[in-house]
Structure 1
Amino acid sequence: MTNTHHLLILVGSSRRGSLNRQLAENVASIASAQGLRTTLPDIRALDIPIMDQDLEATEGIPAGARQLRQVLEDADALIVCSPEYNGFPTPLLKNALDWMSRPDGDIAGLDAFRGKPALALSASPGALGGLRSLALTRQLLDNLGMLVMPEKLSVGSAGKAFNADGSLANERQQHTLSQAISTLTDRLRRLQS
């Protein structure tokens, strides 16, 4: 039986050659092979301004943030792939989540997040692979009301971590990633039934 669950994958880095974009594309490939649908937007292309309540009061929620929130509302789960900046989640990721969580007319912003499974992953050129920020990313997702999965993966020395096909060169890491997505899929099935 084909699984029709839908994953939103957010990448906390938008630079050309982003290691976390590579990780996210690997996630999408694994998810697709497991029968899941994925959406992998480019947050920077959505032109979401820095969170500013004065701007919110005068202009409302930016269209890009509304678009992301709608995708999250339609999705069954969220996967975040983000590097760390000084041990913290990136401003790009945090800003998008902040805007997405804002109330908007009759929409309670947190409703899009509440009760949905989430998985946090990271990749970085450094030895720890963004590990320091994973706990904070997980805490942020939990604060938004998500069911944060215990599985996680940080890919260190990520500039050399990917094969030409986009998979992780380290077979153990590739297996861990595949298993994390399988566990997420199982959680979605249990929540559905």
Structure 2
Amino acid sequence: MDDVVLIDHPLVQHKLTLLRRKDTSTNDFRRLLNEISTLMAYEVLHDIPMHPITIETPLETMTANVIDGKKVVFASILRAGTGIVDGMLTVVPGARVGHIGLYRDPKTLIAVEYYFKMPGDLAERDVVVVDPMLATGHSAVAAVERIKEYSPRSIKFVCLLTCPQGIEALHSAHPDVPIFTAAVDRELDENGYIVPGIGDAGDRIFGTT
């Protein structure tokens, strides 16, 4: 489990348990995912670069550190990745957002790209790729591969849930990309879904079937 950061804070785990329940409504699912993503952002961005500026407090002038949120890119794997991006933007509102459209072929389970749009000058930016599920790993591998074509300063992958197969797939293809997750579940089922899991994250976010 090298380069896998398990975010096991009690608040994250409590909200994840509520989110997993099959009777959780669409509205509550979105809210919980947003809250978990906001909490996860603190750990994911723990090493974000900072620079000093001069400010005036009510008592004196001082030098203090700030981040450059514009250098952070949240790259959302469509469609479910938007559920994580929204929460992370709460704490880094100046971040740029990119989108990668991928769908899983129902027969091969291979990721097929249909859309790709990123901010410019990725070589000067830190990219956080987000998707609620790291299951077979095909979408994550394809997304990171495309982003690497633009040589960003760094890449991290953030998911709500993963499993041993997903971790192995992503790290086999991209061993330099750390994975941040709230849970490592048991395995994949015959249809490529994480179990016990949360079901289809996109369907539960958007209320589709």
Considering only CA atoms, is the larger Rg found in Structure 1 or Structure 2? 2
- Structure number having the greater strand percentage: 2
- Same-fold status (TM-score > 0.5): no
TM-score, normalised via structure 1 length: 0.42
User: Which protein has the bigger helix share?
Assistant: 1
